[in-house]
Structure 1
């Protein structure tokens, strides 16, 4: 398997898009998501990732507000999102999912004609547990044309087992929609969540596309931690005016060998852990 939309030698152009998201403005958020897809695809992106709860906003006043901003998987408003996706492009977008009496903090995986998968966040952070039901899988794997796409949401990735298990399952790249509240850190340091994502990417040779919020919502300031991390764990591109774009090598990511004598996966000693 080689390129997605992106060219030769297993290179895939990926985009993390952080549009203006206004809580309560479901239709406006969806319209801005579609514009973000068009902008990123116009730059050659074959994988486009949006933040957690991008359709609704995050800081709900209460469950009733979340319910009013939820979407079902078959909501007709998804049609406009599909229509905005060019052929050969895969989009991951966080949304508030209504399913019967439950709400889930979910990520939809879409292309121009199909809903490839939906992932429900397994690890709920803070007051999310007052609104959402936790999902029953810790990340998912999706056949995405360019390769196997791992999908997790925000706090999921702070449990090292999650990205590791996705990589062991054959993930070529990880899509990570997040909402990272700003926390204090030493001057010049990366956000702590980004450091964890960099470490996970390096330990499994798993490129990671992180789409974070920016600005503020109600009483929460966002980190603006959008970044594209390569298979060596380095940040190759960070937040730039809503659209962050880079090319990553899936061929290199698939090769777990560490010449001349080591292999990241074959060298594991799980019987000792």
Structure 2
């Protein structure tokens, strides 16, 4: 059996350190995506703060606690039953984490702290203690990872094995050279991971540049078969209606099952 899920990955303008303004622009992006009937909306990594911090103190200045009133304001922009995944710099006491909040109207579903820190992130943030996370939400079992997490094939596979129906992936992908006509390498890796675990993936990436770092603009929706189902439109949002199999169904008719055929004893 299958079901459909309308998803959107959107990249509002994000200005380094302008937390109040970023929250308002995220809110508008959530409203716009919801107006297009999106049931799951993903915005980029560290969307509330920006990314290219000079040092830990600057990251801390732009961090938010989980009880910040801005979260209730974002959640209020969501229609009932719609879920949003928003990247932010999380302040917890003296520690700062690179985190994604999972929100829906009326309550906060949960938060995931990035486990695999890229480059200078290790000097800014504490690492999370789980390799991705799965949350029960109004749109199903939602897997969440952040950017560099997905470079490790074990992460999306782990989330799929844990019963994730779809993966939300907020990212900040620095632009890398690639042959003409090719997808970004991170997109290719995400396509392969989606196909190998039959795990549709919703990627929200940055646009433009920040402190001299150009972004890939890799926002995309990837379906369960690993194909790109949507790229950003003129509004900067990738919107698609995904067809998802019943949770846990990894069958490959007529003779195979993607997870049933695994041989962990040989790996």
Q: TM-score range by the shorter chain?
A: over 0.9
The residue number in structure 1 matching 2:265 is 271
Alignment partner, residue 6 of structure 1: none
Question: RMSD of the alignment, in Å?
Answer: 1.1
Q: Identify the residue that residue 258 of structure 1 maps to in structure 2.
A: 252
Establish whether residue 149 from structure 1 lines up as the match of residue 145 from structure 2: no
Aligned-partner Cα distance in 2 for 1:95–1:22: 13
Over 3 Å counting, the alpha-carbon distance change for 1:255 and 1:245 in structure 2 is same
Q: Report the TM-score when normalising by structure 1.
A: 0.95
Q: Tell me the CA shift for residue 255 of structure 1.
A: 2.8
Count the aligned residue pairs: 266
1:245-269 deviations in Å (ceiling 9; x for gaps): 0010122675311111110000000
Structure 1: any 5+ residue segments left out of the alignment? 3-8
> Which of these residues, 78, 91, 94, is aligned with residue 98 of structure 1?
91
* Change in CA separation of 1:46 and 1:33 when aligned onto 2, cut-off 3 Å: same
* Aligned match of 2:59: 66
The aligned residue for residue 166 of structure 2 is: 173
Match of 2:175 among 173, 176, 182: 182
Aligned to 1:215: 208
Residues 103-182 of structure 1: pairs in structure 2 closer than 5 A: 103-182=96-175
- Aligned equivalents of 1:143 and 1:252: distance in 2? 15
Query: Runs in 1 of length 4+ with deviation above 6 angstroms?
Result: none
Contact 2:231 2:237 in 1 (8 A): no
The equivalent residue for 2:236 is: 242
TM-score, with structure 2 as normaliser? 0.97
